[in-house]
Structure 1
Amino acid sequence: MKSELKGIISAVLTPFTKDGVAIDEAAYGRLIRSQRDAGIHAVVASGSTGEHPSLTVAERKRLYEIAVEASGDKIDVVAHVGSNNVRDALDLAEHARKVGVDQMLVVTPYFDSLKFTDVQRFLDKIVKISGGPIIYYDTPSITRLDITEDQMVTLKRDGLVSHIKDSPQNFTRTMRMLSNPDAPTVLAGSDPALLAVLAHGAPGSIIGASTFIPELCVELYDRISVDKDWNAALKVWDRLWPILNFMLLNGYVALAKAGSEIRGLSLGNPREPLAPSPVELRERLKVVLEASGVTSLPLAA
C-alpha cells in the first residue's frame, strides 16, 4: 500500500441511474476523469459520501475497477473497504488489491462497540490482504470508538495503520497527533477543521465536497501547503466555508449531488433512505455558489 499520500483526496459521489437501480458507470468514469483534470490528487471509491451503506458488495467492487481504469496513472485511487460485515470487508479488500488500488481506507464494523483488541484483530486481517498498513477511518460518531492517541501510536507501530482520516470528536487529540512523529499521518477528514488541520501540517485531506467544487478545494491546499500564503488561504476559505456549512446544515450528500448537477455533471439522486434535495434548497445552493464565485462551468471531461 502507498505510504505517501498528499493533497485533496476526493471522497467522490456514486452516480446512479434515474431509477436508482444501478450505478451509472459512464457518469462515474466522467466524474473520475473530471477530478483528475481539475487537479485532485486522489479519489476515494465507495466512501461515505459515495453512499457505501446503500451499495452491494458487487457494486463496490465495480466502483474500484472503474476508478482504477479512469484515473490511469494520473491520480491515486483509495478503495474504502470498510463494512459492518467483516466477511464483506475482507472480500472487498481482496478485490481492491486485485485491481491495483493505491491504498485502502477502512472503517471498523460499526453496529457493536468494539474493544481495542477487536479493532487490532480486524485490521490485522485487512492488512494481511492489503500487503501494508491502511488508512484508518476514524469517525467516533458512527463507530462509537474513541481511539486514544496512544492507541493510534500502537496501530502504527504494529504496521496496521499508516494514515488516519480524522473525523474526531476531540480536536485536541488531532493537534497532538499532528505533532507526534510516532502517530499515523493525519489527513483532515472533517470539513469544519479542514483549514486548521492543513495549516497545522497535515499533508492532505479526504473531503466529499471536492466532488463538485474541486477547484476551490485544490486552491485552498495550494495556498496553504504549497505557497504557505496564509492570507491568500484565508480568502479561499472565506469562499469555501459557506458552501461546506450550507451542506452540513441541509444534507451533505444530497446537496453534493445537486451541486454536481448545477455545474454540469448529473450524478442522479441519492439512494434511499436519503432523499433528493428539494427545489428550494437547490435554489439556495445556487445562490451560495454564485456568492463564492463558483460558476456553472461543466465538470465533465
Structure 2
Amino acid sequence: MTHDHPDTPARAVSRPFGRVLTAMVTPFTVDGELDLDGAARLANHLVDEQGNDALVVNGTTGESPTTSDAEKERLIRVVTEAVGDRAKVVAGVGTNDTRHTVELAVAAEKAGAHGLLVVTPYYNKPPQSGLLRHFTAVADATGLPVMLYDIPHRAGVPIAAETMVRLAEHARIVAVKDAKGDLTATSWVTSRTDLAFYSGEDSLTLPALAVGTVGVVGTSTHFTGALTKQMIEAYDAGDNATALAVHRRLLPVYTGIFRAQGVILVKAALEAVGLPAGPVRPPLVDATDDEITQLRADFAAADLKLPE
C-alpha cells in the first residue's frame, strides 16, 4: 500500500520480521563441508542468547555464492526445525537470474522458510523496469512475504525510490533490507509506503530509525544482538540518551567486523568464543592472526570479550 503524499499522518509501525535479524554465517566442517549440527546450534544461540527475532540464512554472509542449491535447501530445513517455533527464518534466494531466483524461492517455501530476502540482480545491471519485473516475478511465485535487498555498491544498480513505491503495491512485498546508505532516499520511501525498512548497515541502525526504519538485518549482531535490541527498544520508548550510549559503545565492533569481508571476521570471532563456524570457502580466505588480534582490541573497546 502506498501513500499519495509525504505529509500523510504517521502509520502504525509494522515489523513483519521483528526488530533484530542476523544474517547468519553458514558453519562448515574443517574440510569445508556443510555443518548442519553446527548451524542448528548457532541458530539456537542467536535466538536464545542474542535475542534475534529472525535469522537470514543463505545470504551473502552465509556464503551463498559458494553453496549449492541443495545445501541451501538443507540449511533452511535445519535452521527452521531448530528455531522456527521461536523466530522467523528468512531465506536468501536472490541471484542475477530471475528464473533461478524463482526456483530458489519455491524451494525455500517448501523447506519451511517464513520469508524471502531477494537481492537486486548483480553485475548484469538491469534497468529499473527489469528490477520491477524481477522482484514481482519472485513475489508472485510463492505465498511468502518478501524483503527486498537494496545494496547498490555490490549489485551495481540501486532500486530507485520510485521503483520501491511501485513494488510496495504488491501484497507480498513487505520489507526492505536497506544497504544503500542514503537516508534521504530511505526517508522518501518510508513516507510514501508501508514497507518496513531494516537497516542493512549495522552502524546506521540508530540514525536510520529517525527516518522511519524499524530494525536491522545485522552481521555484528552475531555478538551484539541483545544490545542492539536494547538500543532499538530504547529509541522506540523515547529514551534517546540510552539508545545513543549503546550505539557509541558498539561503534568499535561495527568497525572491527567490517575491517575485512564481514563473514571472515565473524567466523573468526565465533571460533574464539567456541561457537560453530569453521573455515570460509574460496575465494574468501580465513582471518590472519593480525586481523584476529585487531578484532580482539575492537571488541575490548566495546567492553566485549573475545577470548585468546
What amino acid is aligned across from residue 288 of structure 1 in structure 2?
D
2:55 equivalent in structure 1: 43
Q: Is the contact made by 1:137 and 1:164 (CA closer than 8 Å) also made in structure 2?
A: yes
Q: Is the contact made by 2:296 and 2:305 (CA closer than 8 Å) also made in structure 1?
A: no
Q: Is the contact made by 1:32 and 1:70 (CA closer than 8 Å) also made in structure 2?
A: yes
1:112 equivalent in structure 2: 124
- Secondary structure in 2 aligned to 1:273? coil
Residues 133, 265 of structure 1: CA spacing in aligned structure 2 closer, same or farther, 3 A cutoff?
Answer: closer
What is the TM-score when the length of structure 1 is the normalising length? Answer: 0.91
Q: Is the contact made by 1:153 and 1:183 (CA closer than 8 Å) also made in structure 2?
A: no
Deviations 1:22-74 (A, max 9, x none): 11111100011001102111000101111111111111111111111011311
**Residue 80 of structure 2, aligned match among 59, 68, 76:** 68
1:207 equivalent in structure 2: 218
Q: Which runs of 5+ in 1 are unaligned?
A: none
**Residue 281 of structure 2, aligned match among 233, 252, 271:** 271
1:17 aligns with 2:29: yes
**Residue 293 of structure 1, aligned match among 292, 295, 303:** 303
Q: Distance in 2 between the 1:133 and 1:102 partners? A: 7
Residues 24, 163 of structure 1: CA spacing in aligned structure 2 closer, same or farther, 3 A cutoff?
Answer: same
What amino acid is aligned across from residue 279 of structure 1 in structure 2?
D
Q: Distance in 2 between the 1:15 and 1:148 partners? A: 35
Q: Is the contact made by 2:258 and 2:265 (CA closer than 8 Å) also made in structure 1?
A: no
Q: Distance in 1 between the 2:101 and 2:162 partners? A: 26
What amino acid is aligned across from residue 256 of structure 2 in structure 1?
F
- Secondary structure in 2 aligned to 1:206? strand
- Secondary structure in 2 aligned to 1:186? strand
1:244 equivalent in structure 2: 254
Q: Which runs of 5+ in 2 are unaligned?
A: 1-13
Between 260-269 and 75-84, report the one with greater CA deviation.
260-269
Q: Is the contact made by 2:26 and 2:277 (CA closer than 8 Å) also made in structure 1?
A: yes
Q: Distance in 2 between the 1:295 and 1:3 partners? A: 31
Q: Is the contact made by 1:28 and 1:66 (CA closer than 8 Å) also made in structure 2?
A: yes
1:282 equivalent in structure 2: 292
**Residue 152 of structure 1, aligned match among 164, 171, 189:** 164
1:259 aligns with 2:269: yes
Instruction: Report deviation, 1:132.
Output: 5.0
Instruction: Report deviation, 1:9.
Output: 0.8
State percent identity of aligned pairs.
Answer: 30
2:151 equivalent in structure 1: 139
Deviations 1:136-161 (A, max 9, x none): 11011122222222221111114462
What amino acid is aligned across from residue 231 of structure 1 in structure 2?
A
Q: Is the contact made by 1:104 and 1:130 (CA closer than 8 Å) also made in structure 2?
A: no
1:127 aligns with 2:136: no
Q: Distance in 1 between the 2:261 and 2:171 partners? A: 37
Question: CA RMSD for the aligned pairs?
Answer: 2.0
What is the TM-score when the length of structure 2 is the normalising length? Answer: 0.89
**Residue 192 of structure 1, aligned match among 173, 180, 203:** 203
Deviations 1:234-276 (A, max 9, x none): 1111221111112223332111111112222130121111111
Deviations 1:48-102 (A, max 9, x none): 1111111111111111111110113111110111113333322211111112221
What amino acid is aligned across from residue 193 of structure 1 in structure 2?
L
Instruction: Report deviation, 1:198.
Output: 2.4
Instruction: Report deviation, 1:127.
Output: 1.6
Aligned residue pairs, count: 293
